[in-house]
């Protein structure tokens, strides 16, 4: 018997919202999704079979992961699934209904690392499904995405294992760790995408009202997040400042010069240092300093240009001050163009739904998205893809403490995608 067997889209979404799990910590989410999908007759690849483990980016420490798994266990994640996941979140569910084309849907499952509002006028708080996990909140709608994924799976799979009007194979990609761009790359490097002929990714909200469907978001900025740690040697700043190797001098020089990476003649570039930390007493030469850097580019090449400059700058700053430096990629996304044919399928599907009042064509994405890696993998293998926007009249902006999703949008999301896939 599955936890979600008797729950509708709203019930599932609210349960996920209440148990918000941030990137790489989606143990309960993955386990319950897998349990329900297997109940529906899908084969489910889990954890190390759903993402390439060593390609995971921005991984929390082992302690943090173990605590998250324990938390999931206590909150009802079935042990059998946790065991199969082997400490790694993410799932790919597959079911074949005939010899037709292979179609895929990608949804993301992770919450944001932020606290949720407890105000009375915040519905999740008022109705008791606000996040019970401090510092983790579904403030971007991925809870709805996951519910939509389950809803799509249900539409295709009736009790006797056939699906009217669809004779192909359906693959559902439940991607972990989208925030920061950490889970898309390792999922894209499995071979699950190689035979996908049509991939649809989706997002609710994005400032569109309920009833609007955007057939093809595209051109997100490519993005890379680089964690940097400078390590020097402490010394007494009064007695022997010369004996120190000052990690903070290196960090400051790096920051100033990172912002000065030359603009590029070919298009948009961005650079930012969001976080810096160096904690010593005032009279101690700084032994350690950490930075969190982000670069972006209008194309993947521009992003690589920025990333390679950023790496050279932190290396040069370290060598200048005789300190060591280590870097690790926290996250990375690329960019994509949606395919006309895929967008048209969505447009026609949406136009046929009563609940849809407006169908919008291609739109620039603005931010960054690691569905980009999955989409490009499909396109490189000869398939087509699009990234669909499902309007939702939300009460507050994405990523805020008051974010909540118009739950009507979920039904529209399920129906639009199901129709598009069936008509392929």
Helix, strand or coil for residue 205? coil
Distance CA 308, CA 218 (A): 25
Per CB under 8 A, the segment of 117-125, 312-320, 340-348, 389-397 that binds a second copy is: 312-320
- Position among 193, 206, 255, 378 found at the interface with a second copy (CB under 8 A): 255
- Work out whether strand 324-333 and strand 222-231 pair parallel, antiparallel, or are unpaired: antiparallel
Residue in 122, 153, 152 with CA at minimum distance from that of residue 138 = 122
Of residues 164-223, those binding a second copy (CB under 8 A):
180, 221, 223
Per CB under 8 A, the segment of 11-19, 44-52, 95-103, 319-327 that binds a second copy is: 319-327
Distance CA 369, CA 180 (A): 9
Backbone phi, psi, residue 258, to 5°: -60, -45
| Residue 99 contacts a second copy per CB under 8 A | no
- Position among 11, 98, 326, 366 found at the interface with a second copy (CB under 8 A): 366
Q: Is the dihedral of CA 338, 145, 148, 402 positive or negative?
A: negative
- Work out whether strand 102-108 and strand 324-333 pair parallel, antiparallel, or are unpaired: unpaired
Q: Minimum CB separation from a second copy for residue 404, in Å?
A: 21
Identify the residue whose tokens are 């249900």. 154
Other C-beta atoms lying within 10 Å of the C-beta of residue 336: 26
| Residue 159 contacts a second copy per CB under 8 A | no
With contact defined as beta carbons under 8 Å apart, do 184 and 175 qualify? yes
| Residue 128 contacts a second copy per CB under 8 A | no
Q: Minimum CB separation from a second copy for residue 371, in Å?
A: 16
Q: Find how far residue 312's CA is from the centre of its chain.
A: 28
Q: Minimum CB separation from a second copy for residue 139, in Å?
A: 12
Is the Cβ of residue 269 or residue 416 nearer to a second copy in the bound state?
A: 269
Q: Minimum CB separation from a second copy for residue 83, in Å?
A: 34
Q: Minimum CB separation from a second copy for residue 180, in Å?
A: 8
**Contacts with a second copy, 273-292, as mask; x by CB under 8 A:** xxxxxxxxxxxxxx--x--x
| Residue 94 contacts a second copy per CB under 8 A | no
Is the Cβ of residue 161 or residue 397 nearer to a second copy in the bound state?
A: 397
Is the Cβ of residue 152 or residue 289 nearer to a second copy in the bound state?
A: 289
| Residue 423 contacts a second copy per CB under 8 A | no
With contact defined as beta carbons under 8 Å apart, do 110 and 21 qualify? yes
- Position among 133, 249, 334, 372 found at the interface with a second copy (CB under 8 A): 249
Per CB under 8 A, the segment of 127-135, 168-176, 271-279, 403-411 that binds a second copy is: 271-279
Is the Cβ of residue 194 or residue 243 nearer to a second copy in the bound state?
A: 243
Secondary structure of 123-181 in HEC code, one letter for each residue: HHHHCCCCCCCCCCECCCCHHHHHHHHHHHHHHHCCCCCCCCCCCCEEEEEEECCCCCC
Q: Minimum CB separation from a second copy for residue 227, in Å?
A: 9
Distance CA 201, CA 385 (A): 8
Q: Minimum CB separation from a second copy for residue 365, in Å?
A: 10
| Residue 140 contacts a second copy per CB under 8 A | no
- Position among 128, 367, 382, 397 found at the interface with a second copy (CB under 8 A): 367
Is the Cβ of residue 292 or residue 362 nearer to a second copy in the bound state?
A: 292
| Residue 304 contacts a second copy per CB under 8 A | no
Contacts with a second copy by CB under 8 A: the residue count is 67
Q: Minimum CB separation from a second copy for residue 273, in Å?
A: 6
- Position among 86, 161, 312, 326 found at the interface with a second copy (CB under 8 A): 312
Structure tokens at 7: 């729950």
Q: Would you put residue 313 in left (φ > 0), alpha (ψ -120 to 50) or beta?
A: alpha
Please provide the size of the chain in residues.
Answer: 424
- Position among 1, 74, 79, 242 found at the interface with a second copy (CB under 8 A): 242
Helix or strand run (H / E) with residue 310: helix 300-320
**Contacts with a second copy, 220-239, as mask; x by CB under 8 A:** -x-x-x-----------xxx
| Residue 327 contacts a second copy per CB under 8 A | no
For 6, residues 6+ apart whose C-beta sits below 8 A from its C-beta are none
With contact defined as beta carbons under 8 Å apart, do 304 and 312 qualify? no
Question: Which pairs with CB-CB distance under 8 Å and at least 24 residues apart come from 68-74?
Answer: 68/21, 68/24, 68/25, 68/27, 69/27, 71/27, 71/28, 71/133, 72/19, 72/21, 72/25, 72/27, 72/28, 72/31, 73/27
Is the Cβ of residue 291 or residue 342 nearer to a second copy in the bound state?
A: 291
Residues in contact with a second copy by CB under 8 A are 180, 221, 223, 225, 237-244, 246, 248-249, 251-253, 255-257, 259-260, 262-266, 268-286, 289, 292-294, 296, 305, 312-313, 315-322, 330, 366-368
């Amino acid at each position: 018997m599955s936890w979600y067997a008797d729950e509708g889209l709203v019930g599932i979404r609210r349960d996920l919202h209440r148990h918000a799990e941030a990137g790489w910590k989606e143990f309960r989410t993955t386990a319950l999704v897998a349990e329900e999908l297997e109940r529906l007759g899908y084969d489910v690849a889990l954890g190390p079979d759903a993402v390439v483990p060593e390609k995971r980016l921005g991984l929390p420490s082992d302690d943090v992961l173990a605590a998250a798994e324990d938390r999931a266990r206590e909150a009802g994640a079935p042990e059998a699934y946790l065991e199969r996941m082997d400490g790694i979140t993410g799932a790919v569910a597959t079911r074949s209904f005939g010899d037709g084309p292979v179609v895929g849907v990608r949804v993301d499952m992770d919450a944001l690392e932020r606290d949720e509002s407890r105000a009375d006028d915040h519905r999740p708080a008022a109705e008791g499904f606000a996040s019970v996990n401090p510092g983790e909140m579904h403030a971007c709608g991925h809870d709805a995405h996951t519910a939509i994924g389950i809803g799509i799976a249900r539409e295709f799979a009736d009790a006797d294992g056939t699906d009217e009007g669809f004779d192909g194979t359906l693959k559902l990609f439940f991607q972990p760790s989208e925030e920061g761009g950490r889970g898309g790359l390792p999922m894209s490097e499995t071979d699950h995408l190689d035979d996908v002929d049509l991939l649809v990714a989706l997002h609710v909200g994005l400032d569109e009202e309920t009833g609007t469907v955007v057939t093809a978001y595209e051109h997100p900025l490519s993005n890379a997040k680089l964690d940097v740690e400078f390590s020097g040697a402490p010394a007494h700043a009064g007695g022997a400042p010369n004996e120190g190797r000052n990690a903070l001098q290196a960090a400051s020089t790096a920051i100033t010069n990172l912002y000065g990476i030359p603009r590029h003649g070919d298009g948009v570039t961005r650079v930012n240092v969001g976080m810096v930390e160096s904690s010593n007493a005032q009279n101690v030469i700084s032994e350690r300093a950490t930075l969190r850097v982000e670069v972006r580019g209008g194309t993947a090449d521009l992003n690589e240009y920025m990333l390679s400059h950023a790496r050279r700058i932190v290396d040069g700053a370290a060598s200048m001050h005789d300190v060591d430096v280590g870097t690790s990629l926290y996250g990375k996304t690329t960019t994509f163009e949606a395919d006309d044919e895929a967008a048209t399928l969505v447009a026609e599907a949406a136009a046929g739904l009563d609940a849809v009042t407006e169908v919008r064509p291609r739109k620039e994405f603005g931010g960054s998205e690691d569905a980009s890696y999955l989409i490009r993998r499909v396109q490189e293998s000869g398939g087509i893809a699009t990234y669909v926007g499902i309007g939702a009249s939300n009460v507050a902006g994405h990523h805020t403490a008051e974010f909540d999703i118009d739950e009507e949008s979920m039904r529209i999301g399920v129906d639009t995608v199901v129709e598009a896939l069936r008509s392929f």
